[in-house]
Amino acid sequence: MAALGLAGGAALLAGWPAAAAAEVADNAAELPRGLLSPRGVGAIKAGVAGATAALLLWGLWLERRGRGGELARLRDGLLVGLGLLAAACWLNLFQFHYPGFGHPSDTFHYYLGAKYFPELRYTRLYACTAVADAEAGRDAERPIRDLETNQLTTSAASLAEPERCKRHFSPRRWADFRADVDFLHARVSERRWRRFQQDHGYNATPAWGVLGQALTRTGPATPTQLAALRALDPLLLLASAVGLALAFGWRVTAIAVVYFGTNYAAPYGWTGGSILRYDWLAASLLGIALLRRERPAGGGALLALAALLRLFPALLLAGVALGSVGRWLRSRRFAPTREERRLALGAIAGGGACLLLSLAVSGPGSWSEFATNARTHVATPLANHVGLRTVLSYDPAMRAAVARDATLPDPMQPWKQARRQRFASQALFFWALVAGFGVLVARAGAGAPCWLGAVLGVAWIPVAFELTGYYWCVLAALALLAVRHPSLGPAVCALSALGWAVASHWHWTDEIHVWLSVLTISFCVYTLLLVTPRPTRARADDVVHNSNMDLNS
């Protein structure tokens, strides 16, 4: 596997990775050349992941021959170096967004979406931005996405009736909104600004909005304010790495950092340099770390927070619950452990407090609005979707390269419709596979500590949820299983390297993410089978003893 990962780095040099499309500057002539170009950085990422896999395999080979101490300092030094290089790789070797640390599009959505949520809610961001541009004397006639239907339309209706937007604002708040729109608009090209409003809107949960609204309302948009807000995610990621190192050791943490920094699906270009886009990941990882440190109440509270921030991390709690169910079924006795009881109390208390606070801040109907918005979003296929549903929705005859129709307002509409129809015919099979995978999680986690159940819940995410690829950074948590199963260390790194090999072979984003999903789901199945305890044959005297106990009872 390590050799294949190293080959992936070389193969990447022959093609342009689709992930780079989210990271490049408007003017391609401004891009650096050579190793610091998007293609060069991608090759380095594949090489770092493959080299780490090879290094860890070397260590396992030595251990199995009773020579585990041989060149240990050299191997540890190399692992530290690769981990640090992987962290720099996540930042595109400090090229960030080619150029610039900040992510203008994501900042636009999460800054305005949070700060003006009482007025914009989930559906008025693009329409109100067009009205603000028109009042500032800028050209506001443009294609925009109707966030109620997720269909591409134009700003004409909003401009014809600006009061449909402005009636939700007080005069003071509208003036503030216009000023913030002016500030953000002035920092990007007109072409990029128009592209922003063809995206898919502000999609954070009301729980995310509690802190999001508090932070964005500290003043008008300024370079200093945005720099401070954008610094929060790197600090959260650093805190997560420290927490994992304290709980699992620095070596396992280094492996997790290698996956996080080098994987294809979740590069810096998608959400790096934005506002609190990794709070859910920090809550998930630190929650697992607290469970490992035997702090189940705090761990449960953080995992519940992660679930309220992004929903799909709820599977970490589900993984713990299924492990408990597996143990109860095996022992035929319902008896929650002290750790399980404290975790449940922490999750209920922490999650309940966060839920009540979100209702107080965003209003009693906010979660209902979020659910409506989420259903619309889930029903819209995207080229960078990943997961089992993505695989089952794939029709080679209607891939984007074939189905895309440039004459339509939304060229991808035929492709989206084909995806929906394909999945409709596979829906029952999908849910059967999700349930079957849940059974595997229950078997693998039966009798295991809660932290391990939470990590197994991570392995369930690619099967149960269809997500945009950048959320797959959570799969870095699978590296934590290497503390019990060392062979998973090189396997996780090889998974990252092989993702780049997939990207070098398929050139359309939709196909890349389908085959990346196949690769990752296969890895998750392998992980569960490896972690599942093997049945042991009872000794004859134990069988006789147990039989006598049954008779005496």
User: At which of 212, 230, 248 does a domain end?
Assistant: 230
User: At which of 163, 196, 230 does a domain end?
Assistant: 230
Domain that holds residue 427: 2-95+233-531
The 10s digit of each residue's pLDDT in 140-199 is 999 999 999 999 999 999 999 999 999 999 999 999 999 999 999 999 999 999 999 999
Q: Grade residue 536 by pLDDT with cuts at 50, 70 and 90.
A: low
Instruction: Report the 10 Å Cβ neighbour count for 364.
Output: 8
Asked, for residue 210, whether it belongs to a domain, the answer is: yes
Asked, for residue 553, whether it belongs to a domain, the answer is: no
Whether residue 283 is found in the same domain as residue 392 = yes
Give 329's Cβ-side CA count (13 Å radius).
12
Whether residue 214 is found in the same domain as residue 345 = no
Contact of 38 with 237, CB cutoff 8 Å? no
3-state secondary structure of 356: helix
Q: Which residues contact 435 (CB under 8 A, 6 or more apart)?
A: none
The total number of structural domains in the chain stands at 2
Q: Which two tokens stand for residue 263?
A: 């994987």
Whether residue 124 is found in the same domain as residue 75 = no
Whether residue 387 is found in the same domain as residue 453 = yes
Helices 296-310 & 279-292 angle (0-180, nearest 10) = 160
Asked, for residue 549, whether it belongs to a domain, the answer is: no
Q: Is the pLDDT of residue 549 over 70?
A: no
Q: Grade residue 529 by pLDDT with cuts at 50, 70 and 90.
A: very high
Asked, for residue 316, whether it belongs to a domain, the answer is: yes
The 10s digit of each residue's pLDDT in 15-57 is 333 333 343 445 555 677 888 999 999 999 999 999 999 999 9
User: At which of 185, 212, 230 does a domain end?
Assistant: 230
Whether residue 237 is found in the same domain as residue 223 = no
Asked, for residue 539, whether it belongs to a domain, the answer is: no
**pLDDT at site 449:** 96
**pLDDT at site 546:** 39
Whether residue 7 is found in the same domain as residue 139 = no
Asked, for residue 551, whether it belongs to a domain, the answer is: no
In whole angstroms, what is the distance from residue 152 CA to residue 363 CA? 29
The 10s digit of each residue's pLDDT in 458-512 is 999 999 999 999 999 999 999 999 999 999 999 999 999 999 999 999 989 999 9
Whether residue 299 is found in the same domain as residue 337 = yes
The 10s digit of each residue's pLDDT in 270-304 is 999 999 999 999 999 999 999 999 999 999 999 99
Among 366, 83, 3, 74, which residue's Cα sits nearest to residue 212? 366
Q: Indicate the average pLDDT of the chain.
A: 91
Asked, for residue 409, whether it belongs to a domain, the answer is: yes
Whether residue 243 is found in the same domain as residue 217 = no
- DSSP letter (8 states) at residue 539: P
Whether residue 243 is found in the same domain as residue 151 = no
Q: Is the pLDDT of residue 9 over 80?
A: no
Task: Please list, residue by residue across 194-225, b when 16 or more beta carbons sit within 10 angstroms of its beta carbon and e when fewer do.
Answer: bebbebebbbbbbbbbbbbbebbeeeebeeeb
Whether residue 143 is found in the same domain as residue 114 = yes
**pLDDT at site 26:** 53
DSSP 99-149: S-SS-HHHHHHHHHHHHTHHHHTTT-HHHHHHHHHHHTTS----EEEETTT
Whether residue 340 is found in the same domain as residue 440 = yes
Asked, for residue 548, whether it belongs to a domain, the answer is: no
Whether residue 328 is found in the same domain as residue 210 = no
In whole angstroms, what is the distance from residue 465 CA to residue 387 CA? 6
**pLDDT at site 1:** 40
More confident residue, 297 or 68: 297
Percent of the chain clearing pLDDT 90 (strictly above): 87
Contact of 185 with 133, CB cutoff 8 Å? yes
The 10s digit of each residue's pLDDT in 203-240 is 999 999 999 999 999 999 999 999 999 999 999 999 99
